[in-house]
Amino acid sequence: MPDPVSKSTTGAGVGFALSAYLLWGGMPLFFLLLVPSGPVEIVAWRIVLSLVFCAILLTATRGWRRLRAIVADRRATLMLGLAGLFIVVNWFVYVYASINGHVLEAALGYFINPIVTVLLGVVVLGEKLRPLQWVSIGISVIAVLVIVISLGQFPWISLVLAASFGLYGLVKKRVGGNVDAISGLTIETAWLAPLASVAIIVVAASGDLTMGASGVGHTLLLLSAGIVTAIPLLLFASATRRLPLSYVGLTQYLTPVLQFIVGVALLHEAMPPARWVGFALVWLALIVLTVDVFRAGRGAKGARIAPA
């Protein structure tokens, strides 16, 4: 009989993951509303305002003592600093893609991300790939080659987004369940806040700072960047603490699907035949990977039942 607590935890984890990916899927539209702000300014304000938002949450939830206990753990603090490094790379590339007409490339990156997660399991955790996983990776490599050869451009946006977010998820998983979502994000943004502050000063010195200079509506939107950034990350952190990485990988398909719809239907980005072929191959790879996950899950369940 299933453990009711475990079942409840898994259900909550799936809910958190779906909510996070739903919010991330619509993020390109939010970033377009922030124009004429550039990627550097947007990311810098995201970091600083996320830290402020987390400080408010810690005060409201009386979490400062818990945060101090985590900071005392040097390994956890350093790992969260590493997570912050990966996520700031992801943020910058994603914002750049959103405001420069590359939403479809961003969507492709997040479609590739589950396959990157599988590769990280091999390279970092020493896991062995099952045959269908090898097939999925092979199809994905062919998809990238099709795009490179047919379109004459390397999909660096897609691959950087896939790699940076895959590494971020891996680090968050390695930190473990002892670090709650709010404390984890607070430490990550605290590591990044000095760099973000310098970036804001440099942008202001160059005369390109848009905060307060592009109307009240724009300023309010930019000020909301902290909340818009922090909420899906908190949901994602809560999901990774409750779910296996395979479950997180399956639910994340929602984000690139929404990004794809935004890019094609709302922003009318070009979809030449080669790009359709590339996306189709990646979708085929994901179908193969999904089939493998469910087959492995049924096999594990059968192995548990057999001794009884």
Give tens-digit pLDDT for 216-273: 999 999 999 989 988 888 888 788 777 776 666 667 778 888 899 999 999 999 888 8
How far is Cα 206 from Cα 184, in angstroms, rounded to an integer?
33
CB atoms within 10 A of CB 61: 12
Is residue 7 predicted with pLDDT exceeding 90? no
Check pLDDT > 90 for residue 175: no
Please give the distance of CA 156 from its chain centroid, rounded to a whole number. Answer: 16
Helices (H), 176-272: 181-205, 216-223, 225-242, 245-251, 254-261
What's the confidence (pLDDT) of residue 4? 46
Q: For residue 46, what pLDDT is reported?
A: 93
pLDDT top residue among 296 and 79: 79
CA distances for 181 relative to 85, 103, 237, 291, angstroms: 17, 28, 5, 31
pLDDT at residue 5 is higher than 60: no
Q: Check pLDDT > 60 for residue 302.
A: no
Give the residue-averaged pLDDT of 268-291. 88
CB environment 178-201: b (16+ within 10 A), e (fewer): ebbbbbbbbbbbbbbbeebeebbe
User: How far is residue 165's CA from residue 287's CA, in Å, rounded to a whole number?
Assistant: 21
Quick check: 47 and 221 in contact, CB under 8 A? no
Of 151 and 307, which is predicted with more confidence?
151
Tokens describing residue 128? 């062995």
pLDDT greater than 70 at residue 298:
no
pLDDT tens, residue by residue, 188-224 = 999 999 999 999 999 999 999 999 888 999 999 999 9
123/189 Cα distance (integer angstroms) = 27
Distance CA(134)–CA(128), nearest Å, equals 10
pLDDT digits (tens, 9 = 90+) for 24-83: 888 999 999 999 999 999 999 999 999 999 999 999 989 899 999 999 999 999 999 999
The label of the residue with tokens 């970091």 reads 47
pLDDT band, residue 307 (cuts 50/70/90): very low
Predicted pLDDT at 198: 97
Query: ∠94-95-100 over CA atoms, to 5°?
Result: 100
> Cα separation of 290 and 246, whole Å?
9
User: Which of these, 87, 75, 80, lies nearest to 172 by C-alpha position?
Assistant: 80
Has residue 99 got a pLDDT over 60? yes
Cβ proximity of 87 and 164 under 8 Å = yes
Q: For residue 119, how many other CB atoms are within 10 A of its CB?
A: 17
What pLDDT was estimated at residue 94?
A: 94
Measured distance CA(236)–CA(254) in Å, rounded: 13
Give the 3-state secondary structure of residue 16: helix
Query: What whole-number percentage of the chain has pLDDT above 90?
Result: 46
The SS3 assignment for 3 reads coil
